[in-house]
């Protein structure tokens, strides 16, 4: 067999030592990275600032129940999201449950299957049936058209998702929800700090939910928030998050414990201070991926619209037919180089228990995308130089796609 060289590397790119098929670690070459390069390392900000804040909470002996740092965090999050109200919670899953209850969802709720399983799980856990809709084949986001196809008389609401932090078609979804007289909620877990045409994510529908999990662009270790302009809804959510108690401590209705702790808010405030720097780093990585993968057959980067200010926390490609190798083969090749990717989100939630089975809807666009998508490393611990090396491996793999798909490749660890 002959080994052809990959096309010349673009100008300004340090030449990788990997030039031939046999240089790939999956075929016995030395891995490109000695340490794993990961998707989404936490953005913890200035550790000294965090420790100082945590110490203040200890000195105050104020550890939870809406302490001053939680209030400050809520204020900052509401400001970024351009909304009047923010209720911080212990995670986004409970935030989704609270707002679903507070908005009166029941029976069936339409949502995309192309999402993290937390979206359907949160509602299913409180007795609401997720009804999955398909997504746009290019963006992976739900649309008014795909939602409309899934509506029935039992539909009590819509849960939209800003997939990978790219805002979904909110105006048309709001119009559809209004015409149907049902609430629109948005799982904005990926989309903190994002805006489109100057309109920040946060004020859409009845309410939006952010996640501040360790893997998200701003972290509170574990955490979430409900943001809304609806004061009554916010008050209901706030009471429900604290055993159904109002601000005077009177129980006014059903509730659970979904409060954010002061330690979490200390992390959140510190992580928020790093937000602009984190996003600038993510943007540089995204642009490098876009440049280095441009024109590569079958490798389609999920693009952010020009009128959009993203947080660029997720860099996702779709490995399409023209690449000559499938997503899992590429992931295996990258894993051997110590490049840890994630098949986000695969399979679609409609293929996962307890939602799979006889009644599973047919969602062709979701199924196709779920077989193609791959989230690539970015975040505070990944620099543009790393991205260039990752892209060089991808180019090499695509150039030798035929050989890679006919040879047995080693399965990735984990
Ligand atoms: C991370 C995530 C969640 C869950 O957030 P937690 O804070 O971990 O509960 C929900 N929806 C989506 C789309 C997510 O990515």
Whether residue 1 is predicted with pLDDT greater than 50 in this model: the reply is no
**Ligand 1 pocket member 116 (CB < 6 A):** yes
Percent of the chain at pLDDT above 70?
94
pLDDT digit string, tens, across residues 23-57: 999 999 999 999 999 887 899 999 999 999 999 99
Ligand 1 pocket mutation, candidates 93, 219, 222, 259, criterion most atoms within 8 A of CB: 93
pLDDT digit string, tens, across residues 363-410: 999 999 999 999 999 999 999 999 999 999 999 999 999 999 886 555
pTM for this prediction: 0.94
Residue 40 has a pLDDT of 77
Residue 10 has a pLDDT of 47
| Cβ density class 55-70: b for 16+ within 10 Å, e for less | eebeeeeeebebbebb
- d(CA 123, ligand 1 centre) in Å: 13
**Category of 2 on φ-ψ map: left (φ > 0), alpha (ψ -120 to 50) or beta:** beta
**Ligand 1 pocket member 113 (CB < 6 A):** no
The answer to whether 233 and 206 are in contact (CB under 8 A) is: yes
Q: Which atom of ligand 1 is nearest to the CA of 216?
A: 1
**Ligand 1 pocket member 118 (CB < 6 A):** yes
Residue 9 has a pLDDT of 42
The structure tokens listed for 197 are 């045409």
Radius of gyration over alpha carbons of the chain, in Å?
A: 22
DSSP state of 175: H
**Ligand 1 pocket member 91 (CB < 6 A):** yes
Going by alpha carbons, the residue nearest to atom 8 of ligand 1 is 213
Whether residue 14 is predicted with pLDDT greater than 60 in this model: the reply is no
pLDDT digit string, tens, across residues 264-301: 999 999 999 999 999 999 999 999 999 999 999 999 99
- d(CA 215, ligand 1 centre) in Å: 9
Q: Which atom of ligand 1 is nearest to the CA of 215?
A: 1
């Amino acid at each position: 067999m002959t080994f052809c060289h990959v096309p010349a590397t673009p100008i300004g790119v340090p030449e990788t030592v990997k030039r031939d098929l046999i240089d790939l670690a999956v075929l016995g070459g030395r891995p490109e990275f000695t340490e794993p390069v990961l998707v989404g390392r936490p953005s913890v900000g200035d550790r000294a600032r965090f420790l100082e804040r945590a110490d203040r909470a200890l000195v105050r002996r104020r550890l939870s129940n809406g302490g001053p740092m939680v209030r400050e965090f809520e204020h900052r999050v509401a400001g970024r999201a351009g909304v009047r109200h923010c209720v911080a919670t212990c995670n986004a899953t409970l935030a989704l449950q609270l707002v679903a209850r507070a908005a009166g969802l029941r029976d069936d709720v339409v949502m995309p299957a192309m999402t993290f399983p937390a979206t359907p799980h949160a509602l299913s856990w409180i007795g609401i049936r997720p009804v999955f809709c398909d997504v746009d084949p290019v963006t992976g986001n739900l649309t008014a058209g795909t939602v409309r196809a899934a509506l029935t008389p039992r539909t009590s609401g819509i849960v939209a998702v800003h997939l990978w932090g790219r805002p979904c078609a909110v105006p048309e979804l709001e119009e559809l929800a209004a015409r149907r007289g049902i609430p629109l909620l948005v799982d904005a877990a990926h989309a903190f700090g994002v805006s489109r045409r100057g309109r920040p994510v946060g004020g859409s529908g009845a309410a939006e939910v952010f996640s501040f999990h360790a893997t998200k662009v701003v972290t509170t270790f574990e955490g979430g928030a409900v943001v809304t302009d609806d004061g009554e809804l916010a008050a209901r959510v706030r009471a429900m998050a604290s055993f159904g108690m109002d601000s005077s401590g009177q129980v006014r209705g059903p509730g659970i414990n979904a409060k954010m702790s002061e330690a979490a808010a200390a992390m959140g405030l510190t992580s928020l201070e790093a937000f602009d720097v984190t996003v600038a780093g993510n943007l540089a990585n995204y642009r490098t991926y876009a440049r280095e993968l441009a024109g590569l057959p079958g490798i389609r980067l999920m693009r952010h619209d020009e009128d959009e200010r993203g947080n660029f926390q997720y860099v996702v490609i779709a490995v399409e037919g023209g690449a000559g190798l499938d997503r899992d083969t590429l992931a295996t090749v990258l894993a051997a180089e110590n490049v840890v990717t994630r098949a986000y989100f695969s399979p679609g939630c409609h293929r996962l228990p307890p939602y799979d089975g006889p009644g599973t809807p047919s969602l062709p666009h979701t199924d196709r995308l779920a077989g193609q998508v791959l989230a690539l490393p970015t975040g505070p611990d990944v620099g543009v130089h790393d991205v260039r090396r990752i892209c060089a491996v991808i180019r090499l793999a695509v150039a030798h796609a035929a050989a890679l798909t006919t040879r047995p490749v080693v399965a990735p660890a984990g």
